[in-house]
Chains A and B, each alone.
Chain A
Amino acid sequence: MLLNQFLILSAVLFAIGVYGVLARRNGVLVLMSIELILNAVNINLVAFGSYVSSVSGEVFALFVITVAAAEVGVGLAILLLLYRNRRSVDLSEADLMKG
């Protein structure tokens, strides 16, 4: 089976996601980058699950998809709160507390 191709795709997605989280200052784009990492995880899980012919991989991926949806729901609520208070979702402006 072509395991390597899937793993390389997932590693590239993971790297793009991590870059996005670290480099982007827009809250919504950071959330999207985190989704990229989670999708990399899902590709990994399904590819490995099919490679070792164990259904656990697919089940794990289903859990990741479900929980990620809940996580993004909460994340967007917090971003909306930030937007209402500040009229901006620029994360670098959220610096009231330091030290």
Chain B
Amino acid sequence: MTFGALAAPLGALGFVRPHLDWHALAPELTLLGVGALLTCLDIALAERGRTITSAMAGLGLLGVLVPIITLAVAGAATEPRVMFDGAYVVDGYALILKALFVASGYVVVLLSMNYVAEGDYWENEYYGLVLASLLGMVVMASARDLISIFVALELLSIPAYLLAAWRKRDLRSTEAGLKYFLMGVFASAIMLYGMSLLFGASGSTVLADIAAAAPLDRAAESVPSAAITVGVIFVIVGFAFKVSAFPFHTWAPDTYEGAPTPITAFLSVASKTAGFVALGSLVLVGFWERDDVYGPALWFLAAASMTAGNLMALRQRNIVRLMAYSGIAQAGFMLAPLAVAGESAAVADEAVSAVLTYLVIYAAMNLGVFAVIMVVARRTGTGEVASYNGLFKVSPGMAVVMTVFLASLAGIPPAGGWYAKFAVFGALVSADNPAAYVLAGLAAVNAVIAVGYYGKIAARMWFESPAEELGDAGRIAVPFSLRSALALTVAATLAFGVVPATVTHFTEVSLLAAAG
């Protein structure tokens, strides 16, 4: 009755009911449903619900994978499902990223179980906020419109600010949340100013229309006006904060160190991926033709991030800070293909595949490292790199697993990381211009520097005598949830390295073709 009665007056106003593809929206709706269910359970069961909250969150996330798989089977990857005049698109790019977000969310829930229960933190609010943040990321994967990108960005960031400051009485955690919040809000304000200029220059908020607008279309032989240059640069700066690229990285080490460790894993993988997703759709759909503006900007960010991140990682004594700087360097590698994407449509496709491949492999290996960090910290209670001395003699399994992840991060086969770097070099070489070759050379030098600090941790674990903090209480006990997280990430890291086709089968997508 309701809509039928409204249809006539709305029709008189020129309102056309938008087409809603419920199947395409199913992953988002399921995620929202799981979050709502958790809240209802908390109201109904109060304290008695504590024990099942984390299991519900984990199972709910696995449930969200179902509509993503049915969408892939129904062929959404080859025939994109477009809604709201192109503002919301479910295509191959969106699907692989949604699956990646949900899977890394699941691993983060596994990492959180013991941490949250043993730390006696609020369970329901914690998992509810993780799910809310994931919902923002899943929306971001499909957002092809300035407004939906902005709303998705805030939906994923605002819960993350709260989660970073979760340990209320701990000054470090408060400081972590405060720094993350101020930097994040400042960055999104700058990004919004850029978006307002882009809207003014093109007259539309939909990325495909922005790309077709004369001032952004290179075929119209237009020179970029100051508004477009400033707009594009400000939008890139906004997301450079999110992906913690140098020189906008200053929040990352402090926030990573102070935040609860499962949340650090979440920020360093899922939140960073979301930044790249938005950057990818903005650059490759929105202003792909204006590579005279974004090309040099992204080139600088990529080169500076990998070099500065690696050099600063060399002198870190805390493992979480070291991982923060390693993440900055890895972000540089992921930015590199985007910097040369404007060369031609073929290079753009190659670049987006390389970035996606890198993101998937990076998620597996980085979540794995944080799982090991959490296991070791349960025994030692510290994050000092020196506390990893002689880990092999106390817990051989943990040392082997950590070595696999470190080798993967350093890019040593057969662990997955080598293929991620290979894909980036492939995209850079396919651009075939001097700037791309210089960037590839810088990346090669940095890949060698990175072996220095990853290798140093491995050497400490294998050759030093056991650190005092490790104690002599025998093997380190690993709770079931952490064990599952380790098994999942090790299996994924090795599978991606031995059979790269397991990743590339899903990451060979074209954003430009989908934009039409």
State the A residues within 8 Å of B (CB).
10, 14, 17-18, 21, 27, 30, 34, 37-38, 40-41, 44-45, 47-49, 51-52, 54, 56-57, 59-60, 63-64, 67, 70-71, 74-75, 77-79, 81-82, 85-86, 91, 94-99
Closest beta carbon of chain A to B312's beta carbon, Å: 8
Cβ contact within 8 Å between A75 and B200: no
Known: A17-B189, A56-B204. 4 other contacts (CB 8 A): A54-B204, A75-B185, A97-B258, A99-B321
Pick the most buried of B168, B193, B203, B205: most chain A CB atoms within 10 A of its CB: B193
Provide the residues of chain B in CB contact with A34, threshold 8 Å: 185-186, 189
Are A63 and B158 touching (Cβ within 8 A)? Answer: no
Residues from chain B with Cβ under 8 Å of A91 in the complex? 178, 182
A52, B200: Cβ atoms closer than 8 Å: yes
Inter-chain contact B182/A30, CB cutoff 8 Å: yes
**Please, how many angstroms separate the alpha-carbon atoms of A57 and B147 in the complex?**
10
Within 8 A of A (CB), among B313-329: 316, 321
Q: Mark B460-498, 1 if CB is under 8 A from A, else 0.
A: 000000000000000000000000000000000000000
Interface centre among B176, B205, B321 (most CB of A within 10 A): B205
- Would A56 and B199 count as touching, CB distance under 8 A? yes
**Are B178 and A27 closer than 8 Å at their CB atoms?**
yes
Residues of A within 8 A of B193 (CB): 14, 37, 40-41, 44
CA distance A99 to B254 in the complex (A): 9
Q: Give complex CA distance A52, B171 in Å.
A: 49
Contact between A74 and B147 (Cβ–Cβ < 8 Å)?
no
A85 near B196: Cβ-Cβ < 8 Å: no
Q: Quick one: which of B126-184 are within 8 Å of A by CB? A: 146-147, 150-151, 154, 158, 161-162, 165, 168-169, 171-172, 174-179, 181-182
> Which residues does B use to contact A, with CB under 8 Å?
146-147, 150-151, 154, 158, 161-162, 165, 168-169, 171-172, 174-179, 181-182, 185-186, 189-190, 192-193, 195-197, 199-200, 203-205, 253-254, 257-258, 316, 321
Q: Shortest beta-carbon distance, B248 to chain A, in Å? A: 14
The residue of chain B having its C-beta at the shortest distance from the C-beta of A94 within the complex is B175
Q: List 6 A-B contacts (CB under 8 A).
A: A37-B192, A44-B197, A48-B200, A48-B203, A71-B158, A91-B178
Q: B204 touching A99 by the CB < 8 A rule?
A: no
Q: Kindly list chain A residues whose C-beta atoms are within 8 Å of the C-beta of B200.
A: 44, 47-48, 51-52
In order of increasing CB-CB distance, the 10 nearest A-B pairs are A48-B200, A44-B196, A52-B203, A37-B189, A97-B254, A41-B192, A94-B175, A67-B154, A56-B205, A45-B196
B175–A75 CB distance below 8 A: no
> Which residues of chain B have C-beta atoms less than 8 A from A48's C-beta?
196, 199-200, 203
Known: A48-B200, A78-B178, A81-B168. A97 touches B253 (CB 8 A): yes
Establish whether residues B177 and A81, one from each chain, have CB atoms under 8 Å apart when the complex forms.
yes
Contacts of A27 in B (CB 8 A): 178, 182
Q: Is the CB of B189 within 8 A of A79?
A: no
Collect the chain B residues with CB atoms within 8 Å of residue A71's CB.
Answer: 154, 158, 185
Q: How far is the CB of A17 from chain B (nearest CB, A)?
A: 7
B167 shortest CB reach to chain A, Å: 10
Q: Point out the residues of chain B lying under 8 angstroms from A98, CB to CB.
A: 254
Given contacts A56-B205, A64-B192, A71-B185, contact A78 B174 (CB under 8 A): yes
A18 to B187 Cα, complex, angstroms: 11
Instruction: Report A6 CB to chain B, min CB distance, Å.
Output: 10
